[in-house]
């Protein structure tokens, strides 16, 4: 969250030709902001739920492979193939959700800028204007680091250091899906025997 001022000229452009937005435009901007915020929250919540589904499904497949007696190598091979496909679908799902999250957050930033411009030009009683969506990462870091310094654990604790790395929660499901894809691929190669003295394919148990 960052405070905007006329001198900064980042969100509020004092030189912009528009002097005052019509009331109809303001109401439209408010509606658009609400819709964009709801869509962003929807994408994030659905990402968590969908990712949990893929994780549980792959966990069941992995447990089945590990606990099987491997008496039917073909079945083991097919289960590993299914696991690989599901992990790739997980990557695609998470990537698509990340795309739309980024889209709605960018829309929120632009709509919020227009609303703040209107407030600055039409409401003389407002001296400070605060922006929730912006690209100035140093402001985010300053706010969070100040809160961490007030905690009993201290700012230099390992947990505080990890928090300040600002890992992307929405990117982690993509990394998890890619990791599972590599694991399933290794298991597939471990269950298939390739020969080079005349090509042959032999499916064996793990």
The pLDDT assigned to 21 comes to 56
Kindly calculate the radius of gyration of the chain based on its CA atoms and give it in whole angstroms.
26
* pLDDT value at residue 77: 84
What per-residue confidence (pLDDT) applies to 12? 40
Model pLDDT, residue 185: 92
Q: Give me the pLDDT at residue 17, please.
A: 43
At residue 202, what are phi and psi to the nearest 5 degrees?
-125, 120
Coil, strand or helix: which one is 156?
coil
Encode pLDDT of 16-31 as tens digits: 444 555 666 778 888 8
**Which pLDDT score is estimated for 70?**
63
b/e 92-112 (16+ beta carbons within 10 angstroms → b): ebbeebbebbeebeebbbebb
| Interatomic CA distance for residues 21 and 137, integer angstroms | 30
User: Alpha carbon 67 to chain centroid distance?
Assistant: 34
Task: Count CA atoms closer than 13 A to 197's CA, side-chain side.
Answer: 0
Tell me the three state secondary structure of residue 69. coil
pLDDT at residue number 22: 62
Residue spans of alpha helices (H) in the chain:
23-67, 73-122, 137-149, 158-164, 172-191
Low-confidence ranges of the chain (pLDDT < 70): 1-24, 69-71, 120-129, 151-156, 194-206
Q: What residues are paired with 98 via a beta bridge?
A: none
Q: Is the pTM of this model over 0.75?
A: no
Q: For position 174, what pLDDT does the model report?
A: 93
Phi then psi dihedrals of residue 126, to 5 deg: -95, 115
What is the model's pLDDT at position 156?
A: 60
Give residue 165's Cα distance to chain centre.
Answer: 15
């Amino acid at each position: 969250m960052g405070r905007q001022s006329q001198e900064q000229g980042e969100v509020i452009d004092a030189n912009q030709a528009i002097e005052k937005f019509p009331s109809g435009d303001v109401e439209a901007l408010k509606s658009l902001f609400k819709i964009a915020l709801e869509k962003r929250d929807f994408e994030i919540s659905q990402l968590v739920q969908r990712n949990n589904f893929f994780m549980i499904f792959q966990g069941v497949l992995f447990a089945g492979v590990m606990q099987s007696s491997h008496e039917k190598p073909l079945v083991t091979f097919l289960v590993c193939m299914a696991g690989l496909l599901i992990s790739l679908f997980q990557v695609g799902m998470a990537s698509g959700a990340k795309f739309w999250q980024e889209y709605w957050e960018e829309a929120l930033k632009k709509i919020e800028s227009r609303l703040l411009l209107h407030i600055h030009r039409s409401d003389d009683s407002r001296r400070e204007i605060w922006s929730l969506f912006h690209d100035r990462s140093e402001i985010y870091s300053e706010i969070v680091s100040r809160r961490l310094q007030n905690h009993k654990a201290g700012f230099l604790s390992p947990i505080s250091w990890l928090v300040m790395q600002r890992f992307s929660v929405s990117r982690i499901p993509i990394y998890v899906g890619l990791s599972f894809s590599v694991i399933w691929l290794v298991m597939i190669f471990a269950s298939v025997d390739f020969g080079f003295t005349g090509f042959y394919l032999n499916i064996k148990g793990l």
